[in-house]
Amino acid sequence: MSADHNTGTDRDEATLGRIETEIALLMRLGEATRRATGTAEHRVLDRAAYVILRYLDSAGPQNVSGLAARLGLDGSTVTRQVSAMQRDGLITRTPDPADGRGTVVSPTQAGLQRMAAVRAARTRLYGDILAGWTSGDRETLAEMLHRLNEALESRNRRR
CATH number at residue 60: 1.10.10.10
59 and 128 part of one domain: yes
Spatial distance between the Cα atoms of 88 and 122, rounded to a whole number of angstroms = 22
Same domain, 32 and 47: no
Sign of the torsion angle spanned by Cα atoms 125, 131, 132, 136: positive
pLDDT over 90 percentage in the chain: 53
Average pLDDT, the chain: 87
User: Which one is predicted more confidently, 34 or 132?
Assistant: 132
How does pLDDT run across 50-60, given as a tens digit for each residue? 999 999 999 99
More confident residue, 58 or 46: 58
**Which of 41-55, 57-71, 107-121, 141-155 shows the lowest per-residue confidence on average (mean pLDDT)?**
41-55
Lowest model confidence (mean pLDDT) among 11-20, 70-79, 122-131: 70-79
Same-domain check for residues 93 and 110 = yes
What is the distance, to the nearest Å, from the Cα of residue 123 to the centroid of all Cα atoms in its chain?
Answer: 14
Give the C-alpha separation, 32 to 132, whole Å. 21
User: Are residues 16 and 58 part of one domain?
Assistant: no
Give the H/E segment covering residue 8.
helix 3-36
pLDDT of 143 higher than 50: yes
Instruction: Report the 10 Å Cβ neighbour count for 115.
Output: 22
pLDDT tier at 2, thresholds 50, 70, 90: very low
Parent domain of 151: 42-158
Domain count within the chain: 2
State the pLDDT at residue 65: 87
Q: Any residues with CB less than 8 A from the CB of 104 and at least 6 apart, and which? A: 61, 62, 63, 93, 94, 95, 96, 97
